[in-house]
Amino acid sequence: MSNNKKFETLAVRTQTETSQFSEHSVPLYLTSGFVFDDAEEMRASFAEEKQRDLYSRYSNPNVNEFVDKVCLMEGAEAGFAFASGMAAVFSTFGTLLDAGDHVVSCSSVFGATHGLFTKYFPKWNIEYSYFNVNEVDKIESLIKPNTKFIYAETPTNPGVDVLDLDLLSAICKKHGLLLVIDNCFATPYLQNPIKHGADLVIHSATKLMDGQGRVLGGVTVGNKELIREIYLFSRLTGPAMSAFNAWVLSKSLETLAVRTDKHCENALKLATFLEGHPKVTWVKYPFLKSHPQYEVAKKQMKLGGNIIAFEVEGGIKGGQAFFDSIKMCSLSANLGDTRTIVTHPASTTHAKVEPEVKAAAGITDGLVRVSVGLEHVDDVIADIEQALENI
Ligand SMILES: *Cc1c(COP(=O)(O)O)cnc(C)c1O
């Protein structure tokens, strides 16, 4: 599919070649291996003189379709798909980093990513330095001769802070570093970090890409030489996405734009409601004028996303009273589902994170994260309103 088409068209029309059965919807290619005509074809294929599928740990028609689609959506040259978002994060890091390297990262990163930095990097002699989202002017002072890349999520989890991609990319260019962005919260529909200078973009496809809380998946896209390295690493280490998950996810991407539009519309309405509520100390949503990085969000995002962070009165007690009063919304750790999910990071995803790291990431005891779903927004607001009244 030529990439001069619009996002929605690419999402719907990028498909694996039709088989001899002329199916309209792409079938599921559940096969671990592929066959060869003769010894020469097999030799040429393994020698990569011939481009074709060999074994589903390397590539598979369903996975290829998913990857091609994400590449078109992100404006990327190439990509590789993984079993989960964390497999994408880990395999990207594992490919890029050598013992003795250093990473500069935003301090508010996904809990498991923080776990990689703190628990496993030391054993490979890899160092990291965190910068606070509100202190981007200090990033340059953290760069060392052995720094390999700058890593960031924007909007961040769970604080919903926004980082200026043009600024990060300018710092990377100046110091000869790679820029790696976890674009999970924004989705390729709302934000394309490569257009702002990122070298690699990572997604957990488990979230809005699937959008219905069914399967896990991850993907890294970007510069083709780097993706080639990631492919070689992954071909040996085996974190590949399954054909089934790729099939589900590629179909989900067909509706990413319409779903995300509605998610964002609902989220803005809920955020606006929360902003005026007496039991709410503050609300953070990228497209609210009160967001500290509102201008940056407007510059680099199409809409504000579906995640809202807000703080309820009364600290941990207030948070618990709020959660215990929720009737319809789900108390869960996932996000980007059709069902609205409320999470209490202080007692769940970030419970094991050190207090000073939590503070630096803006995670207070009363912080609530909402992943706004596709129910009618009036019902979501009504549920949250009655729970706030019980604080
Ligand atoms: C969920 C998430 C991940 C990890 O993805 P999984 O698919 O759960 O492994 C990474 N980064 C961000 C920002 C996430 O929200």
pLDDT tens-place string over residues 118-176? 999 999 999 999 999 999 999 999 999 999 999 999 999 888 999 999 999 999 999 99
Given a contact cutoff of 8 angstroms between Cβ atoms, the answer to whether 377 and 315 are in contact is no
Ligand 1 site residues, Cβ closer than 6 angstroms: 84-86, 89, 110, 153, 157, 182, 184-185, 204, 206-207, 216, 218
234 lies in the same domain as 330:
no
**Spans of the chain below 50 pLDDT:** none
376 lies in the same domain as 312:
yes
CATH number of the CATH domain containing 338? 3.90.1150.10
Instruction: Take residue 219 and report the two structure tokens written for it.
Output: 């993907």
Given a contact cutoff of 8 angstroms between Cβ atoms, the answer to whether 287 and 266 are in contact is no
44 lies in the same domain as 174:
yes
Q: Which of 197, 220, 253 is the last residue of a domain?
A: 253
Domain assignment present for 371:
yes
CATH number of the CATH domain containing 125? 3.40.640.10
272 lies in the same domain as 219:
no
User: Quick one: which of 57, 58, 41 has its CA closest to 49?
Assistant: 41
To the nearest 10°, the Cα dihedral for 206, 254, 192, 310?
-50
Q: Which atom in ligand 1 lies closest to the alpha carbon of residue 218?
A: 7
CA distance 139 to 133: 10
For ligand 1, atom 2, the nearest C-alpha belongs to 204
For ligand 1, atom 1, the nearest C-alpha belongs to 204
Given a contact cutoff of 8 angstroms between Cβ atoms, the answer to whether 199 and 222 are in contact is yes
- Count of CB atoms within 10 A of residue 30's CB? 12
Q: Which of 238, 253, 268 is the last residue of a domain?
A: 253
Q: Which atom in ligand 1 lies closest to the alpha carbon of residue 334?
A: 1
Dump pLDDT digits (tens) for 328-358: 999 998 899 999 999 988 777 777 777 877 7
Domain assignment present for 320:
yes
249 lies in the same domain as 273:
no
To the nearest 10°, the Cα dihedral for 371, 377, 381, 382?
-130
Q: Say how many Å lie between the CA of residue 34 and the centre of ligand 1.
A: 31
Q: Say how many Å lie between the CA of residue 23 and the centre of ligand 1.
A: 34
243 lies in the same domain as 325:
no
23 lies in the same domain as 163:
yes
For ligand 1, atom 12, the nearest C-alpha belongs to 110
Q: Which atom in ligand 1 lies closest to the alpha carbon of residue 216?
A: 7
Predicted confidence at residue 363, as pLDDT, reads 81
Domain hosting 381: range is 256-389
Domain assignment present for 59:
yes
For ligand 1, atom 11, the nearest C-alpha belongs to 110
User: Quick one: which of 106, 82, 76 has its CA closest to 95?
Assistant: 82
Predicted confidence at residue 365, as pLDDT, reads 87
Pairing of strands 341-343, 330-331: parallel
265 lies in the same domain as 278:
yes
pTM of the model as a whole: 0.95
Predicted confidence at residue 2, as pLDDT, reads 57
Q: Say how many Å lie between the CA of residue 78 and the centre of ligand 1.
A: 21
Q: Which of 218, 253, 288 is the last residue of a domain?
A: 253
Phi-psi category of 87—alpha, beta or left, where left has phi over 0 and alpha has psi -120 to 50?
Answer: alpha
Q: Say how many Å lie between the CA of residue 334 and the centre of ligand 1.
A: 9
Q: Say how many Å lie between the CA of residue 383 and the centre of ligand 1.
A: 27
CA distance 96 to 146: 12
Q: Say how many Å lie between the CA of residue 247 and the centre of ligand 1.
A: 19
46 lies in the same domain as 150:
yes
Domain assignment present for 1:
no
Within 13 Å of residue 382, how many CA atoms lie on the same side as its CB?
A: 7
Domain assignment present for 306:
yes
Task: Domain count for the chain, please give it.
Answer: 2
Predicted confidence at residue 364, as pLDDT, reads 87
Count the residues in the chain: 391
CA distance 102 to 124: 11
317 lies in the same domain as 236:
no
Task: Give the contacts of 339 (CB within 8 A, at least 6 positions apart).
Answer: 213, 329, 330, 373, 375
Domain assignment present for 2:
no
Q: Say how many Å lie between the CA of residue 153 and the centre of ligand 1.
A: 11
Measured in degrees and rounded to the nearest 5, phi and psi for residue 335 equal -155, 165
170 lies in the same domain as 90:
yes
Sequence letter at residue 303 = L
156 lies in the same domain as 260:
no
